[in-house]
Structure 1
Amino acid sequence: MSSGPDSGLQERGPAVVRRPVPAISLRQLLTVSRPALWINTVGVLVTGLWLTGQLYTAAPAFWLLLLYLTLPYNLLIYGLNDLSDRAEDALSPRKGGWQGARLRTAEATPLLTWILALNLPFLLLLAWLLTPASLALLLLSAALFAGYSLPPLRFKARPLLDGLSNVAYALPLALPALLLGRPVSVWALLALCAYSVGKHAFDAAQDSGSDRAAGLNTTAVWLGVRGVALYSLCWFVLAGALLWPLSRLSSGVLLMVCGGMALRLWRKPDVDTAARLYPLSIVTPWIVGGVSGVQLVYLLVRGLY
C-alpha cells in the first residue's frame, strides 16, 4: 500500500529520548554525610548542653537543633565538599567508601537538591525558635563550612585559612548556652577551636599527594607532611593548655592521644603513615569527648557542677 500524502500516514522523525535525572539513594546520602563523623556535631552540641549545668532540657529548639545536626547539617558540610573536590577525590584512593563519596558528574545536581531540601526547612524553623545570638552562631558555622568548599572563598585551597575555618566545628558548643541564656564556657570553646584547627591539618596530610597532583594548595601541601605534624602538634598542645583549667584529666588524655599521633607522624613523615593514623584521628573525639562527658555527667548527677 502506498504511503503518499493522501494515505493518511505521516513519517515521524527520530524519537527524542529523555534521560531521567539520576536519583541518589538514602544509602548514598548517608555515605556523603559520613555518619562516623556526626560525633563532631551532635557530640559537641550535647557536651555544650552539659557545660550549661543541665543533663537535658525541655526546650523544643534544642531537640530540633540536635536533629538538624545529624544528616542535614553533615550533608551540608561534606556534600558541598564532595561537590567541589571531585577532581581531587578522583585521585584519592580512600574515597568511594566510609571516608567519603566519589561523585559522578550526573550526581551533582541531585545531591545539591537534597542538600537544599534537607537544610532550608530546618533553618527556617530554627530561625523562628532560636534566640538571635544562637541563630547567628549557627549561621556563622554553616557559612564557614560553605566557604571552606565553595568558590570564590574556598578556604580549602588557601593555606592556613583551610584549618582556621574549621573552628566551625567548635562553634555549636556554645549554642546551648546562648539558647538557654547561660554563660558560655570560654575555655572549653577555645580548646575545641584549637583542637579543630590541629585535627584538620593532621587529617589533610594523608591527602597531600592527591591534592598536590590536582593542583590544590592546602596547609598540608604547603608545609609538607613533617611540617604539618609539627603544626598540628602545636595546636594540640594549645588545646590541652586551654583545657587544663577545666579538667586536667581531659587535658592529659588529649595531649597523650593527639600529641602522640602527631609525634608519630613527625618521626615517620609520609602519606602512608598519615593514612594509617587516620582511624585513630577519627576516634579522638570519642576518646577525649567520652572522658570529658563522663566527668561532666558525674559532677551533674552529684550536684557538684
Structure 2
Amino acid sequence: MRALRTPAKSLSPALPLLPLRRLLVVSRPALWINTVGTLVTGVWLTGRLYTLDAGVLALLLYLTLPFNLLIYGLNDLSDREEDARSSRKGGWQGARLTVAEAGPLLRATLLLNLPVLAALALLLPPAATALLLTAAALFAAYSLPPLRLKGRPVLDGLSNVAYALPLALPALALGTAVPWAPLLALMAYSVGKHAFDAAQDIPADRAAGTRTVATTLGVRGTAAYALAWFGLAGALLWPVSQATAAALWLSCGGMALALFFVPTPQRAARLYPLSIVTPWVVGAVAGVGLVYLLARGLWTGV
C-alpha cells in the first residue's frame, strides 16, 4: 500500500496556485469593462465595427482575466493591511486575502501574464507592444515597491492613466491614426475616478499609514479635485461627441458634486456603485453614437 501511495504524493504541486474561481474573484469581473470595453471602443475608433486581426483578438482575451489579475491581484497583495480594515473588501469590490494566499496568487499572476506578454510581443507591432508593456508597468508600479505609487499622492492618480492606454492599442496594432482626443479625455477621467474612489478608503488608508491623494486632500478636497479632472475630460470629448461629453459631466460631475456637498467617507462609499456604473453609462452613449455612424458609413476614424 505504501508503494501505491508514493506516486500520488509526487503529483502534488510543489508551488500551488489559487483555484480559478478565487482568481476570478480577485480579478473583479465587474470592472473588466475598464479594459475590455476600452479596447473594443478603440477598435471602433479605427473605423472598423469589428476586426478579425489576430493581434487585436489576442489582446481582447488578454485584457480579461490575466490583465485584470495583474491590476487587482498585485493591488490586493500589497494592500492586505488596509483591506483588513475596509468593510467593502471581501466581496465584489475586492478580495480580502489571507497570508497563505499571497504566494499562490503571485505565482498565478506571473504565470498568466509574463508568457502571454511575450507571445503578444511576437504578434503586435513594436509600438503596440511598448504601449501594452507601459500600461502593465504602471499598474505594477502602482502597487509594488520600491515605487508603490499608491503611497505617493498625486502620482497615485496620474499613474491611473494606464486604464486609458488600451484605447490606443488597436490603432497601433492596425496601423491607423491614434484617437488623441478620446485618449486624453479617458486619461483625465481615469485620474479623476481614481481620486473619487479613494475618498471612501480615507479612514482605512490613514489607519494603515498610507498616504494617497485622498488622505492628503480630505474628502471635500478630493471631490473638487475629481470634479476638475471630470470637467477636463468632458471638454476634451466635446469636439468629438457632445452627447458623450454631456453624459460624462452629468454622471461623473454629478457624483463629485454630491460628495463635495456631503464630504464624508460614508457618502463616498454610498456613491461608489454609481462610480462603477459611470463607464457603462458614458460608454453606452459613446458606443451607440459611434456604432450608428459606423453602420451608416459616416465614421472612418478620428
TM-score by length of 2: 0.94
Please say if 1:187 is aligned against 2:181: yes
What is the deviation of 1:22? Answer: 6.3
Match of 1:242 among 236, 245, 249: 236
Q: Give structure 2 stretches of 5+ with no counterpart.
A: 1-11
Please say if 1:279 is aligned against 2:257: no
Matches within 5 A, 1:43-58: 43-58=37-52
Matches within 5 A, 1:202-241: 202-241=196-235
Please say if 1:290 is aligned against 2:269: no
What is the deviation of 1:174? Answer: 0.2
Q: Are 1:22 and 1:107, in contact at CA under 8 Å, matched by a contact in 2?
A: no
Q: Are 1:225 and 1:269, in contact at CA under 8 Å, matched by a contact in 2?
A: yes
What is the deviation of 1:24? Answer: 2.0
Please say if 1:163 is aligned against 2:157: yes
Letter of the aligned partner of 1:247 in structure 2? S
Match of 1:96 in 2: 90
Task: Tell me the alpha carbon deviations over residues 82-110 of structure 1, each in whole angstroms, 9 at most, x when there is no partner.
Answer: 00001110111111110001111111000
Match of 2:27 among 19, 29, 33: 33
Match of 2:5 in 1: none
Identity of aligned residues (%): 69
Q: Give structure 1 stretches of 5+ with no counterpart.
A: 1-17
Letter of the aligned partner of 2:162 in structure 1? A
Match of 1:107 in 2: 101
Q: Are 1:258 and 1:284, in contact at CA under 8 Å, matched by a contact in 2?
A: yes
Aligned-residue RMSD, C-alpha: 1.3
Match of 1:200 in 2: 194
Q: Are 1:198 and 1:233, in contact at CA under 8 Å, matched by a contact in 2?
A: yes
Task: Tell me the alpha carbon deviations over residues 179-219 of structure 1, each in whole angstroms, 9 at most, x when there is no partner.
Answer: 00000110000000000000000000000110000000000
Please say if 1:126 is aligned against 2:123: no
Q: Are 2:80 and 2:96, in contact at CA under 8 Å, matched by a contact in 1?
A: yes
Match of 2:8 in 1: none
Match of 1:83 in 2: 77
> Structure 2: how far apart are the matches of 1:122 and 1:21?
20
What is the deviation of 1:28? Answer: 1.1
Task: Tell me the alpha carbon deviations over residues 132-189 of structure 1, each in whole angstroms, 9 at most, x when there is no partner.
Answer: 0000000000000000000010000000000000000001100000000000110000
> Structure 2: how far apart are the matches of 1:19 and 1:113?
12
> Structure 1: how far apart are the matches of 2:216 and 2:15?
39
Letter of the aligned partner of 1:155 in structure 2? L
Please say if 1:256 is aligned against 2:250: yes
How many residue pairs match? The answer is 288
Helix, strand or coil at the partner of 1:101? coil
Letter of the aligned partner of 2:99 in structure 1? T
Give structure 1 regions of 4+ aligned residues with deviation exceeding 4 angstroms. Answer: 18-23
Letter of the aligned partner of 2:61 in structure 1? L
Q: Are 1:177 and 1:183, in contact at CA under 8 Å, matched by a contact in 2?
A: yes
> Structure 1: how far apart are the matches of 2:208 and 2:268?
19
> Structure 2: how far apart are the matches of 1:61 and 1:294?
25
Match of 1:12 in 2: none
> Structure 2: how far apart are the matches of 1:66 and 1:21?
29
Letter of the aligned partner of 2:27 in structure 1? S
Q: Are 1:159 and 1:219, in contact at CA under 8 Å, matched by a contact in 2?
A: yes
TM-score by length of 1: 0.93
Task: Tell me the alpha carbon deviations over residues 224-247 of structure 1, each in whole angstroms, 9 at most, x when there is no partner.
Answer: 000000000000000000000000
> Structure 1: how far apart are the matches of 2:257 and 2:112?
40
Helix, strand or coil at the partner of 1:290? helix
> Rg: which structure is higher?
1
